[in-house]
Structure 1
Amino acid sequence: MDRYNAELERLQEQVGRKHKLTAMLRSLKAQQQELAEEEKRLKSLRIKEQGDVDRLEQGSLAAFFYTVIGRKDEQLDKEREEAYAAAVKHDTVVSQLNAVNRDIYWYEEELKYLQDCEKQYKRVLAQKAELLKIKDPEQAAVIGELEQRLSYLKIQHREINEAISAGQAALNRLESIEKKLDKAEGWGTFDLIGGGFFSGMVKHSYLDDAQEQIEELQVLLSRFRTELADITIDRDIQIQVDGFLRFADYFFDGIFADWAVQNQINNSQKQVAGVKSQVEHVLAKLQGMKSALERELISIRQKLNEVIVKG
């Protein structure tokens, strides 16, 4: 009997994994389509903005016009800022799309090895049922139901732990970005009251660090969203999670033209704090679900032990 139990537990884990992979792939392919469209749009924008810079630098009619009115340098700075913003946003989406494509590849490869797990599970379950019917049909039914519920809860518990791990990774990155922006704000304030070249240089160093981490954060937020694909959560939380996919785009919108301006740093801090609050909210919900699962696991194990002892 122990041999059947071990085999059934192994196969039920495979069935659970197959269902989760299917749900995650469904989510990833939706992200892939959305990101591919966004990448195409941002690539066109990047080419256009760089073209504007090139025309001014190479002496086009527009360059002549701005030279005549004495605003060529000002306009060139503006065009360079817009080109840089477009490039950063495009690079971020490309990085995110590459990560999604990698995940799709590996999950599809893993899924190939799980195609027959449901058939195998049913076959072994039928063999065990036949054996139990011979010994004690009534007890067999009770034990079978409890064992199935126990295996299901174990799978759910592992999936919630994986989602919590993904969410915590995103939260850690958000906290790191928050610290960088806080330091940039502090040095920016010092810069405003006459800190000079050094304070401005330090401020921009922290802003550059925050910008680099935003790209990593976007991948982590997308992965968190994917891990939640097979977990039933409230509709309001699902709406928050769906919004994670476009965080970097919103974050970078309009930020470069006034990046050095203190007010823009404050706005960025608010954006990061808002997403951090959303991630914490989802994590709190997951922790509550995990605690409820653990209580039920203890209860099912106790019931199973009682049935076995009495039998």
Structure 2
Amino acid sequence: MYEEINEQLIQVRSAMSKKRKWEKQLADYETELVVVENEISRLEEQLIAEKKDVQKLERIGITNLIQTLFGSKHEKLRQEKQEAIAVQLQLEEAEKTKDEISYSINELHHKLQGVVAADKDYEFLLSAKEQIIKEKDAAFGNRLFELNDHEGDIGAYITELNEAIEAGYDVEHALNNAMGSLESAEGWGTFDMFGGGMTSSMVKHDHIDKATDHIHHAQTRMRSFQKELLDVDEVTDLQIDISGMLKFADFFFDGLIVDWMVQGRIQDSLQQARDQHAGVVSIIRKLETSLTEKEIELSAIQTDKIALIEQL
């Protein structure tokens, strides 16, 4: 009877742990959604203004004629078009992010439906177990209850660590892909500087396009990683904060997309990607160390439980 109800309690405590985790992630996603929606509104307004600037320069007028004669109009028009393109790309990136966050919110609502009764189920099982303990060997029951409680908590935390580590591996993989594309772009860019011509320029741009996709994917995975770390960070002293990492793509989309012809921009973006990769790997190593410690702790608890049962 003890084993049966203990198993049920472990399962319910796991469901309670998931419920807390998903509620925390949901609240964080909802906060992010508001920020992204505000950013989309700002970018939409900015894009309208940038397009007006382009249209103004394209009109025929005295000022434009003078600028054309002195050769300043075409440079100004090119700059304004670049700025409009940059805002357009940032807006598209923000809209993608909004769609992904909205999808994650809906997914969490669905998951929470499956654990909505976890707290009530736990209270019911706890009450039933207390009754059994009163009727049987109270000392044995209480000790076994403590061990099972601890085992359930450690087991749930190990699950959280494994999920966080897997999320970290996803980010690491995406950043590896981004670095590969940026390294290729850097190589073709160097060739382009020494007279590679249109072909090398096109190949370089193709690698930057691929890097753009990989950076977006890395940012999406980074967001998932951050959500997994919310629960892990609460019950450990690792003190992990990756809020700065979540802004990584901003650097990429603010600068490189417009100035992709500038070799220094490619190198800066590559260094940013390498820094992010090093940071993620460092966090994963901390999580793996914590996982090993918790697995040893869990093994000790299980050994104590077996010894307690064998004594009877």
Q: Same fold (TM over 0.5)?
A: yes
Q: Partner of 2:171 in structure 1?
A: 170
What is aligned with 1:206? 207
Residue 28 (1) aligns with residue 49 (2): no
Post-superposition Cα deviations, 1:193-217, rounded to whole Å, max 9, x if no partner, equal 1222221111111111111222222
Query: What residue in structure 1 maps to residue 297 of structure 2?
Result: 296
Q: Which runs of 5+ in 1 are unaligned?
A: none
CA distance in 2, matches of 1:73, 1:92: 28
1:218 — aligned with what? 219
User: What is the rounded CA distance, in whole Å, between the counterparts of 1:119 and 1:212 in structure 2?
Assistant: 45
Match of 2:44 in 1: 43
Match of 1:116 in 2: 117
Contact 1:251/1:268 (CA < 8 Å) preserved in 2? yes
Separation (CA, whole Å) in 2 of partners of 1:286 and 1:166:
11
Question: Distance in 2 between the 1:99 and 1:260 partners?
Answer: 30
Q: Does the C-alpha gap of structure 1 residues 82 and 61 become closer, same or farther in structure 2, counting only changes over 3 Å?
A: farther
Separation in 1, partners of 2:293, 2:198: 56
- Judging changes above 3 Å, is the alpha-carbon distance between structure 1 residues 21 and 68 closer, same or farther for their aligned structure 2 residues? same
CA offsets, 1:2-28, max 9 Å, x none? 432232222111111111111111221
Q: Given the superposition, is the C-alpha separation of residues 58 and 214 from structure 1 closer, same or farther in structure 2, using an over 3 Å criterion? A: farther
Q: Does structure 1 retain, via aligned residues, the 8 Å contact 2:229–2:240? A: no
The equivalent residue for 1:247 is 248
**Residue identity in the other structure for 2:138:** P
Does the alignment pair 1:310 with 2:306?
Answer: no
Quote the Cα distance in structure 2 between the aligned partners of 1:90 and 1:83: 10
Kindly indicate whether the alpha-carbon contact (under 8 Å) linking 1:56 and 1:76 is maintained by their aligned counterparts in 2.
yes
Cα offset, 1:174, TM superposition: 0.5
Name the residue aligned to 1:85. Answer: 86
Q: Is the 8 A contact 2:219 2:249 kept in 1?
A: yes
Residues 192 and 222 (structure 1), Cα distance of their counterparts in 2 relative to 1, 3 Å cut: same
How many pairs were matched up?
309
Taking structure 1 as the reference length, what is the TM-score of the superposition?
A: 0.93
Report how far residue 235 of structure 1 moved: 7.4
Contact preservation (8 Å) 2:164, 2:225:
yes
Task: Find the counterpart in structure 2 of residue 227 from structure 1.
Answer: 228
Q: Specify every segment of 5 or more residues in structure 2 that has no aligned partner in the other structure, as ranges.
A: none
Q: Is residue 2:178 matched to residue 1:197?
A: no
Rounded Cα–Cα distance in structure 2 between residues aligned with 1:84 and 1:90 = 10
CA distance in structure 2 between the partners assigned to 1:235 and 1:294 by the alignment? 17
Trace 1:34-183 onto structure 2 (pairs within 5 A).
Answer: 34-59=35-60, 63-183=64-184
> Does structure 1 residue 237 correspond to structure 2 residue 240?
yes
8 Å Cα contact 2:90-2:253 kept in structure 1: yes
Check conservation: 1:46, 1:87, Cα contact below 8 A. yes
**Deviations 1:211-253, CA, capped at 9 Å, x for gaps:** 1222222211111111111112557631xx1123322112222
Aligned match of 1:17? 18
CA–CA distance in structure 2, aligned partners of residues 61 and 89 of structure 1 = 34
Q: Distance in 2 between matches of 1:122 and 1:236?
A: 32
SS of residue matched to 2:195? coil
Aligned-pair Cα RMSD in Å = 1.9
Partner AA of 1:262 in structure 2: Q
Report deviation, 1:309. Answer: 0.8
Compute the displacement of 1:77 (Å): 1.8
In 1: Cα distance, 2:108 partner to 2:268 partner:
38
Distance 1:29 1:166 in 2: 20
